[in-house]
Copies of this chain bind each other. A is one copy, B any other.
Amino acid sequence: MHAAILVALAAGAGAFAPAPALSHRAAPLSAEALKIGIVGGGTVGGGIVEILTHKQEQLTACAGGVGIEVKTVVVRDKSKERDWALPPGCTVTEDVDDVLDDADIDLVVEVAGGTTFAKDVVFGALKKRKDVVTANKALIAACLPEIEALLEDVNAEGEKVSFGFEAAVCGGIPIIHTLQTDFVGDSVTRLRGIMNGCTNWMLTKMEAEGVSYTDCLTEASALGYAEADPTLDVGGFDARSKLAIMIRLAFGVDVNEDDISCKGITNIKQVDFAYAKELLGGTIKLLGVAEMAAEGHELTAYVTPAFVPDGNTLAVIDDAINAVEITSENLQSSLLVGRGAGRFPTANSCVSDIVGCARKGLPEAFAKKTTDVTFMNDFSSQFYLRIQYRNEVGIVGNLGDICAKHDVSIYSLLQKPESDYFVLITEYGPRSNIKKVAAEVEGASWCVGDTFLMPVATKE
């Protein structure tokens, strides 16, 4: 295998300026290797070191002959035991300046997480004209325009600095590279997907085993599927951060993530699986959706549980898997499915970006940009409305009146025997109308507690 790889190295040698191609063959690889500093020596950081160590030859070939050397790893506590082996010649330090101030380091990998220290690392490295690779979804979702402005500033002259963040969105799914490179000549009209593994695992289990939401969450946390603060998962906020980042890449539109309406899975009950299945056939998924209308001038986006009918591929994406569906002019419909999180899926995406930097081929980070788009909060769909009721005369008549008043047409209605709930499926119409219906129903004498509303996803 060595001989074969060396042939490939020699062939691709011209990629890494400025040394002439022939010198690659004679000189040891380390002479012009890309030197990296990793900030964060935990789960993902350790995974990166392991992949870089074990796949060295293959990585060098894919980088066009450029070796990759981990020079420094910054950890919080040097005395803490690590589950990964230090590569030869690599230093472990607690001082991030050992990376930021080291002119020898070409690329900084930020896998520390958070938005304070990590922000200093990412911004500090870019300012020092180092390439940056990060897995930090929260930081990018919060600071994308700032990062973009800094990149523009740094890249206004001199050799280009690259910013890779494949690992920040949907872990092992190459959705960032795909949006950056495979839709350059296309116009995306809709993004839709299952963007959080923890909640998808929970919903799958709730439906298959009839387990309650609370018990599922306890188990998801024990299995490590939930974030340290599970509110980020079950509240839909983790999915929303990913959606906001993907919106920028797919549509070229900057959306403040807080402006995207966000509803989690906390109010889903067993009865919803049964009613929805009976009325329409299918299942419930937590979806992130962004859709362009008005010929590219109006964007709606939201995170919500949704009823996903049979025949929609998203309906069969189970467990802790993520899936992103892209609808576009040229490609029509594309779907990417994979692990959304985990040590090696995330580390693999970081390594892919590191190799992209080594071969100077990482795509433009935020090339698509559009400013003449209005962000619309309302959106249209069929909706599922679950209502808890107490028996009274005239409920259906009253409900019919309320729907008519707010211009909502009823597609179907189901009340199972011995259930405290009935469920209404609307015809296609604006969410604002059905929300008015829900609000008015909640004020009726026969309604108990809060109603539960979710859209019905289209099959296509």
Contact = CB atoms under 8 A, between A and B. Distances in A.
Contacts of A178: 174, 177-178
Contacts of A158: 14, 21
A320 to B, nearest CB: 10
A352 B313 contact: no
A277 interface: no
B313 A330 contact: no
A1 B184 contact: no
A415 to B, nearest CB: 31
A356 interface: yes
Nearest to A6: B369
A378 B335 CA distance: 32
A14 B10 CA distance: 27
Interface string A135-167: 000000000000000011001111110000010
Contact of A367 (B62, B316, B369): B62
Given A184-B62, A344-B330, A155 B4 contact: no
Contact of A1 (B180, B313, B370): B370
Interface string A318-343: 00000000000111111111110000
A94 interface: no
A61 interface: yes
Interface string A287-320: 0000000000000000000000001010011000
Contact of A356 (B14, B181, B368, B369): B181
A157 B313 contact: no
Interface residues of A, number: 84
Nearest to A317: B313
Nearest to A371: B4
Interface string A59-87: 10111100000000000000000000000
Contacts of A339: 331-334
A11 interface: yes
Contact of A331 (B160, B332, B348, B372): B348
Contact of A55 (B10, B180, B185, B345): B185
A206 interface: no
A454 interface: no
Interface in A6-26: 7-8, 10-15, 20-22
A360 B16 CA distance: 11
Contact of A173 (B11, B334, B347, B355): B334
A364 interface: yes
A172 interface: yes
A334 B344 contact: no
A364 B352 CA distance: 13
A186 interface: yes
B21 A367 contact: no
A285 to B, nearest CB: 14
A303 to B, nearest CB: 22
B59 A184 contact: yes
Given A12-B160, A177-B182, A338 B329 contact: no
A185 B371 contact: no
A438 interface: no
A243 interface: no
Interface in A31-81: 51-52, 55, 58-59, 61-64
A107 B330 CA distance: 22
Nearest to A362: B361
A360 B338 CA distance: 29
B336 A336 contact: yes
Contacts of A152: 7-8, 10-11
Contact of A181 (B51, B55, B355): B355
A349 interface: yes
5 tightest CB-CB pairs across the interface, nearest first?
A185-B351, A361-B361, A11-B152, A330-B348, A335-B337
Given A64-B160, A182-B348, A335-B337, 5 more contacts: A3-B371, A8-B152, A178-B178, A313-B313, A330-B344
25 contacts: A4-B369, A7-B369, A8-B364, A12-B155, A13-B155, A14-B155, A15-B364, A20-B157, A51-B186, A51-B330, A52-B185, A55-B185, A62-B363, A62-B367, A174-B178, A181-B355, A183-B352, A184-B351, A311-B316, A330-B345, A331-B348, A332-B338, A334-B338, A336-B336, A356-B361
